[in-house]
Every structure is written in C-alpha cells, then in structure tokens.
Structure 1
Amino acid sequence: MPTAEEVRDLVVHALDEHKGQSIETIDVRCQTDITDYLVIASGTSDRQLRALSEAVVEALRGRGVRPLGTEGGAGGDWLLVDLGDVVVHLMRPETRDFYQLERLWGDLPRTREQDGR
C-alpha cells in the first residue's frame, strides 16, 4: 500500500498528465485527523473535471488504492475524490476563486505546481 506522500505524488502526476491547471497541495496533518493532504486543481469545463477525476482514480487503481468516495458529477463545477490520506478537489476556476479553499488553510505547508509544462 502506498504512503500518503506517494498517493499525493501519483495524484499530482495524473493531474499534470491530463492538463490540470494550478495544481496545489496543502499539508493539513497538523490541523486535522481526517486527511493528510489536500490536492486542489482547476479544469476548464465540467468535461475536463470528470476526465481529471477519472485519471486520478485510474492512476491509483493500478497501485491498489480505491477511492473512499466521490462527490459531484455531471454539470458540476466542483468534484471531490476522497482517497483517505489525500482528498482531491477539482474545480472550475471561477468556483475556485469564489470558495478560496487555499485561504481557509492559512499558512500551512503547500506546494504549487508550475503551469505551462
């Protein structure tokens, strides 16, 4: 079974490979027992958000990790994939700007992946 860090890295790689935008990870271990990392990424349409979600699930299936649950769906501006130690939030840019999840977690350790690979 992969570690939380390995799951996080697999998620980021899958999102990057499928053109996820503004990928950011937040280490929330010191603030909650629910999960270790949040991964937040944007997609330009609900179709791309679904494709990103499917890419994450498929990438982890090969490593024996199955999602505990998923939320959102057709026509949604926000999809969530709960992988236990890692929770993935996929949002359209305007939804992400509105909810500003990154701001809710303050100054916790984070990484931001470079766009424009």
Structure 2
Amino acid sequence: MTVNEMTKVIYDAIDDKIGQDISIINIGAVSSLCDYFVIATASSQRQVKAIADNVEDELTKLGIEPRGKEGYETQTWVLLDYGDVIVHIFNEEQRGFYNLEKLWKDAPYVDVDTLA
C-alpha cells in the first residue's frame, strides 16, 4: 500500500465517524518527520476515541499497525503514528490551542481527491 492510499484510508475512517475539519498537510515538503499529517476535530472525548479507534481498526484490517499511540488516557488529543503518516484527533479546544496548521504553515495542504 502506498502512503497516499494509506492516507486516503485514514481520511475515510475519520469521515466515517463524522470527524470535522479534516486537513491533510504535506509535512514531507518541509521536514523529514513524515510525509503527511492528518488532522481532525471531534466534538467530544467519546468521539475522539471513536475516530481514533476506527482509524486503527481500518488500518489493522490492512495489516498496518501504529508505531505509537498517545493520548488515549485523556481523549482530548489522540496521536497515531504510522511512520509516514501521523494522525492527530483533537477535541475543539485542544485543536485551537495547539494549532498545528499554523505551526506547520509552510507545509502545503493536500486535497484528498488527489491521493488515490
């Protein structure tokens, strides 16, 4: 599976659980950290967990396991590290506070329709 295909699966898994304001940022254009950040907002802690669980479940079906997981304890910001793609699921308050899009403002946005 290519990185673009994996990113599309992640996007769809987030969208399936009604994630809001889904952004795909091409971090690889400005850093060697990874290729993409996928960032989304959830309306509650329960939804943060549900979205993160759905992303993990969909990729596990494809034989892809996260290298790391953070934030399941608080469920205000869950990070799933898939190496080339890092997924950030925020509640509204945390997304505004950390504002990753502003932090990585030099990285271009990617339209999900160009991935697959």
Deviation at 1:112, TM superposition (A): 6.3
Q: Equivalent residue for 1:40?
A: 39
Q: Under a length normalisation based on structure 1, what TM-score does the superposition of the two structures give?
A: 0.89
Identity fraction in percent: 38
Distance 1:112 1:22, change over 3 A: farther
Deviation at 1:12, TM superposition (A): 0.2
Cα distance in structure 2, aligned partners of 1:40 and 1:33: 18
Q: Under a length normalisation based on structure 2, what TM-score does the superposition of the two structures give?
A: 0.90
Which consecutive aligned stretches of 4+ in structure 1 deviate over 4 angstroms post-superposition?
Answer: none
Q: Equivalent residue for 1:81?
A: 80
**1:12-56 deviation per Cα after TM superposition (whole angstroms, max 9, x unaligned):** 000001101110000011222221000000001111111101100
Unmatched 5+ residue regions in structure 2?
Answer: none
Deviation at 1:94, TM superposition (A): 1.3
Which one has the bigger helix percentage?
Answer: 2
Secondary structure, counterpart of 1:89 in structure 2: strand
Secondary structure, counterpart of 1:110 in structure 2: coil
Q: Equivalent residue for 1:56?
A: 55
Q: Equivalent residue for 1:108?
A: 107
Aligned-partner residue type, residue 24 of structure 2: T
For the aligned residue pairs, the C-alpha RMSD in angstroms reads: 1.4
Cα distance in structure 2, aligned partners of 1:79 and 1:102: 16
Question: Which has the higher mean CA deviation after the structures are superposed, 82-91 or 70-79?
Answer: 70-79
How many residue pairs match? The answer is 112
Unmatched 5+ residue regions in structure 1?
Answer: none
Cα distance in structure 2, aligned partners of 1:5 and 1:111: 10
CA contact (8 A) 1:23 1:112 kept: no
